[in-house]
Structure 1
Amino acid sequence: MAANTASNADARSSARRRTLLRGRICWGPHHAISADCAIRDISETGAQLRLPVTQALPPTFALIHILDGCAYEAVLAWRKGEFAGVKFLTKHDLKVPGPRELLALRQVWLALAPS
């Protein structure tokens, strides 16, 4: 089931590139709740995720792009079955120590990052 319709593509402000990357979504106080996901496509402004239908997604959360070592503060734009579209609000570099509020996200990334 393809969630990428022509109307979705027209509404995007930047072109997405197809991927099949490992990601992790984190939410809740201090980003203490997390779940694995697949990043199906990504752009400067958003992404399409694939995750189990049973996995709840809050309206806002952080998406860790494990390979790139960054986290995006994201807003859920749509959800259809196992696919979800997200819009990025901000991007954080997890490869370097940052503000205290990003510490939990950096620790998650360090535990999952390829050596």
Structure 2
Amino acid sequence: MDERRDKSRHRVLKAGTIEFGGGAIDCTIRNYSEAGAALDVTSPIGIPDRFTLFVPADGKHLPCRVVWRKEKRIGVKFD
């Protein structure tokens, strides 16, 4: 499989929250780099193309845009 990312991602298992328009959805961060992440969600339905990812363990709020969606996983790039 060819790697298409500029930065390699590291496997992690962290809790996260997708925040948008006053709403929030819990997620699990599966891999992470400076440029983006893969997130596991219960359902990608209703998740907008742009949102803020809150990572409580790191105390970070990261603006994101969705670059791909597959069943219960979404890939995001950090803005």
TM-score range, shorter chain: over 0.9
More helix by share: 1
Query: What's the % identity of the aligned pairs?
Result: 35
Partner SS for 2:8: coil
**Equivalent-residue separation in structure 1 for 2:32 and 2:56 (angstroms):** 13
* Number of residue pairs matched by the alignment: 79
When Rg is computed on C-alpha atoms for both structures, the one with the higher figure is 1
Task: Identify the structure with the greater strand proportion.
Answer: 2
The residue number in structure 2 matching 1:15 is 8
User: Any residues of structure 2 matched to 1:1-115 within 5 Å, and which?
Assistant: 6-7=1-2, 10-28=3-21, 32-53=22-43, 55-89=45-79
Gaps of 5+ in 1: 1-5, 90-115
Q: 1:54 to 1:45 in 2, by over 3 A?
A: closer
Residue 43 of structure 2 aligns to a residue in which SS?
coil
TM-score, length-scaled by structure 2: 0.93
Displaced runs of 4 or more, over 3 A: none
Alpha-carbon contact 2:44-2:69 (below 8 Å) kept: no
Taking CA–CA contacts closer than 8 Å with sequence separation of 6 or more, which of the two structures ends up with the larger relative contact order? Answer: 2
Give distance in 2, aligned partners of 1:34 and 1:16: 25
How does the TM-score come out when normalised to structure 1?
Answer: 0.65
